[in-house]
Chains A and B, each alone.
Chain A
Amino acid sequence: MNNLLARLKPIIVELEHDLERDNFTRPVEISELVALFSKHADREIEVLDVKFKLQKLRGLNVSFSDSKKTLIFTRPCEESHTFDPGCEECRGFRFTIAKELVHICDSQSDKTPPAAIRAELLEGLVTFDLDRSGVAAEYIAELGATELLAPYAHRRLSVGSFTEEKAKATGDYDKLASQFGIPVKYAKLAFSDPYMELVKEARRLNGLRS
């Protein structure tokens, strides 16, 4: 988490500044994340709408070192033409793009070159071999996407709200997921006490407001 936040720090600082300017009354939009990654990672980012045959496949990131271009291939929700915060598929679409954006900031050892995709990433995922850095990068990117779409500075303000307390009491995180536009699984993670503590400490170590 420390290394992840160190890599995302300039983006998180500007994102939280913009949210604070709006009194944290709005969720993060994907277009602002794309703009922030373009600016801070010096990348030309193109997001492309594609229909994958494999339902489990939600997104692909292809990054080029020379041209500083990143292509993100992603599959939008097939049910909704506009974003529906109550739709888990729509929330998954946002989360997928955010996660692919986080991969732009992968460390050198976390990157997967084309020749290693089958051996080091896909087979590694099947066996959940977290010792493989390319595989671990997938899980780290999920945490990164969580911190971008439900930033700690924003979540902290929701702690103790009726919605947050009800979610913790009932185990139903759908409303929090709708508010932040993230899948339920990650809303539950984001508001868990151990995770909040983990992020708080990592932010402190990185000089981010905790």
Chain B
Amino acid sequence: MTAYDAIISDLESKHGKIDNIKFIVKDLTRPEIDMAIDDFVAAASSYLNGGLKPVTEFADKGFAATRFER
């Protein structure tokens, strides 16, 4: 079992069956594909260990003062 398979199994143990995974990546070389998967494994592992901070404020509220021309 690869690290990727193991983390998928752990995620599914916590939240049920995964039916969709999307990565935003273009123009990747093969080593970069491996890096992207490693990044996914690391991110999911941190999440499962409670090491990731949920983003609740997107800090774009001040941006709401923007005025649009007509």
Per the CB 8 Å criterion, the residue count for chain B at the interface is: 52
Tell me which residues across on chain B come within 8 A of A163, comparing CB atoms: 69
Tell me which residues across on chain A come within 8 A of B61, comparing CB atoms: 29, 31
Tell me which residues across on chain B come within 8 A of A154, comparing CB atoms: 68
**A59 CB to closest chain B CB, in angstroms?**
5
Tell me which residues across on chain B come within 8 A of A82, comparing CB atoms: 59, 62
Q: Are B19 and A74 in contact (CB under 8 A)?
A: no
Among B38, B44, B56, the residue within 8 A (CB) of A62 is: B44
**B15 CB to closest chain A CB, in angstroms?**
4
Among A71, A76, A178, find the residue whose CB has the most chain B CB atoms closer than 10 A.
Answer: A71
Describe A's contact surface by its main secondary structure: mixed
B-contact 0/1 string along A113-149, CB 8 Å cutoff:
1100110011101100000000001100100000000
Which single residue of chain A is at the shortest CB-CB distance from B55?
A47
Q: Are B21 and A60 in contact (CB under 8 A)?
A: yes
CA distance A118 to B12 in the complex (A): 19
Known interface pairs A60-B43, A63-B20, A65-B19. Does A54 touch B36 (Cβ–Cβ under 8 Å)?
A: yes
CA distance A46 to B23 in the complex (A): 16
A-contact 0/1 string along B41-55, CB 8 Å cutoff:
011101100001111
Among B25, B42, B53, the residue within 8 A (CB) of A56 is: B25
Q: Are B28 and A126 in contact (CB under 8 A)?
A: yes
Q: Are A158 and B33 in contact (CB under 8 A)?
A: no
- The answer to whether the Cβ of A179 comes within 8 Å of any Cβ in the partner chain is yes
Q: Are A111 and B59 in contact (CB under 8 A)?
A: no
Within 8 A of A (CB), among B4-53: 4, 8, 11-12, 15-30, 32-33, 35-40, 42-44, 46-47, 52-53
Tell me which residues across on chain B come within 8 A of A125, comparing CB atoms: 25-28
Among B19, B22, B29, find the residue whose CB has the most chain A CB atoms closer than 10 A.
Answer: B22
Q: Are A56 and B28 in contact (CB under 8 A)?
A: yes
Tell me which residues across on chain A come within 8 A of B69, comparing CB atoms: 158, 161-163
Tell me which residues across on chain A come within 8 A of B35, comparing CB atoms: 53-54, 57
- The answer to whether the Cβ of A170 comes within 8 Å of any Cβ in the partner chain is no
**B11 CB to closest chain A CB, in angstroms?**
7
CA distance A157 to B19 in the complex (A): 39
10 contacts between A and B (CB under 8 A): A48-B54, A49-B54, A56-B25, A63-B19, A94-B58, A111-B19, A117-B21, A118-B33, A121-B21, A126-B30
Residues of A near any B CB (own CB < 8 A):
24-27, 29-31, 46-50, 52-54, 56-67, 69, 71, 73-74, 76, 81-83, 85, 94, 96-97, 99-100, 103, 106, 111-114, 117-118, 121-123, 125-126, 137-138, 141, 154, 157-158, 161-163, 178-179, 181
